Structure 1
Amino acid sequence: IKKEVETRFGVKLRHGALYPLLNSLEKKGFLTSQKQQQGGRTRKVYTITKKGKKYIETYHNILKEQIQKQDI
């Protein structure tokens, strides 16, 4: 997850910041999680909710507008 966030968004995350962030997003209803067994290990798999997708779309549009304003 850490590598994916850094690659897609250009944001550097400290290892200790990732799971508190995921927990916060889950509490706000932007993510859900499930524990799954995989290769003898238990993993927590996160899924974005409709509310989370809407938030990302809104934030993306606001950011896009700000960038376009700077180009004028």
Structure 2
Amino acid sequence: METLATFDEAVELLKNAVKYSTIENQKHLDLSVINAPDRLEYQKALMVVQSAVKRGEITQDELKQRLGLI
């Protein structure tokens, strides 16, 4: 996937970077679990979803829910 055409594609990609934190029952996005050659794609996905939050298309909490963080 060279470009992320949709918000949904970005969310699906970022779900691969969700991991449990050292703090009990907490999750976070961790790009260090992604292979280095693929990280730019994940960074672009982060820009897509954060831009949607900034534009008011989705709230930060809704995004966290879609990513499986809460």
Given the two structures, how large is their TM-score scaled by the length of structure 1?
Answer: 0.34
Q: Which has the higher strand share?
A: 1
- Larger of the two Rg values belongs to structure: 1
Structure number with the bigger relative contact order (C-alpha 8 A, sep ≥ 6) is 2
Given the two structures, how large is their TM-score scaled by the length of structure 2?
Answer: 0.34
